Amino acid sequence: MITAQDVNKLRTMTGAGMMDCKKALTEANGDFEKAIEILRKKGQKVSASRSDKDATEGSVFVKTSDDKKEAVLIALNCETDFVAKNEEFQSLGKLIAETAFTKKPTDTAALLNEKVGTLTINEKITELVGKIGEKLEVSSFVHMKGEAVVPYIHAGSKLGVLVSLKGVNGKDVTDAGKDVGMQIAAMNPVAVDESAVDKSVIEKELEIAKAQIAAEGKPANMVEKIAQGKLQKFFKENTLVHQSFVKDSSKTVAQYLDSVSKGLAVAEFKRIAIG
C-alpha cells in the first residue's frame, strides 16, 4: 500500500507533483528507484512531445576562474520568461556552467554527456522538463582562455559576452574588459578586426557594393576602387577595434584600450544571446 508519507518522500526527493509521485509509486509497486525512473521517463516523454516548441526565452550563465584567465559561458533556453526566472531553472543553469568549467568538454554535445553524480547533464535537463512541462535546451556553450578573460552579462541575463584581452602586463583590466563587453553586446561586431572577418562575408559585402555602384551608373573602371572603399567602411563599422567606442565616440575601441594601458588589445571575443 502506498502511503501519504511515501508520496511525500518521493516528492521531496524529486520535486515532482503529488499526483505524479503517487502514480509512479503505484506503478513501481512502492519501489522508489523504479518510481524515480518512471518519473524521469515521463520527463523524456514531455521533452519529446515539446520538441517542436520554440525555446526562445532563458538565461545565460558564466563561470570564471579565480585568476580571471579562464571562463565559460552557456545559454540555457526555455519557452517562457516565467520559467527562466524559476529558482530550479536558475540552479540548473549554474550547475551546467560549473560542470562545463570543471570538466572542460569539447562542445555542447560532450557537455550534455558529462555526469553530475549519477546523472548526465542531459538527464538533469530531462528531469526538470518532466517537472515544469517546458522544452529546455543548452543552445550555446563557450570556453575561453587568455591573459585576462572578462565576462559581461547584459541586464536581464539574456545576452552574455566573454572578452579575452592581451598585453595585460599584470594589470587589473576588469573594468576595461567590461566596457568592451558592453560594446560587443550593444554593437554586435562580426570580428575583432578585418583580418578575422570570414572570407565569405567579405565576398558578399563586395558583391553588394559592386551591385550598388553599378546601379548608380558609375564608370566600370571605378567600380573596384569604390567597392574597396565601401568595404573599408564596413570594416570600420562592423569590426570591434575600429568601431567608435560607445562610452566616448571620439575614440575607437582600440584607442580606448591603448589609453587604459599601452599595448592593451582584444585577443578574441564571444557573444551569445537568448532568442
Residue 44: CATH number of its domain: 1.10.8.10
Does a structural domain hold residue 54? no
State residue 1's pLDDT score. Answer: 85
State residue 125's pLDDT score. Answer: 95
Residue 135 contacts by C-beta under 8 Å, 6 or more apart in sequence? 47, 50, 51, 53, 55, 77, 78, 79, 129
The total domain count for the chain is 1
State residue 109's pLDDT score. Answer: 95
For residue 8, give its domain range: 4-49
pLDDT tens digit string along 52-68? 888 899 999 999 999 99
State residue 107's pLDDT score. Answer: 96
Does a structural domain hold residue 44? yes
State residue 15's pLDDT score. Answer: 77
The torsion angles phi and psi of 52, rounded to 5 degrees, stand at -90, 0
8 Å CB contact between 264 and 167: yes
pLDDT at 263 over 80: yes
Prediction pTM value: 0.84
CA distance 94 to 113: 16
Does a structural domain hold residue 270? no
Average pLDDT over residues 15-43: 88
Orientation of helix 223-238 relative to helix 199-215, angle to 10°: 130
**116 is written with which cell numbers?**
553530475
- Report the phi/psi class of residue 160: left, alpha or beta, with left for phi > 0 and alpha for psi in -120 to 50: beta
Does a structural domain hold residue 16? yes
Distance in Å from the first CA to the final CA of the chain: 47
pLDDT tens digit string along 200-258? 999 999 999 998 898 888 888 899 999 999 999 999 999 999 999 999 999 999 999 99
8 Å CB contact between 240 and 192: yes
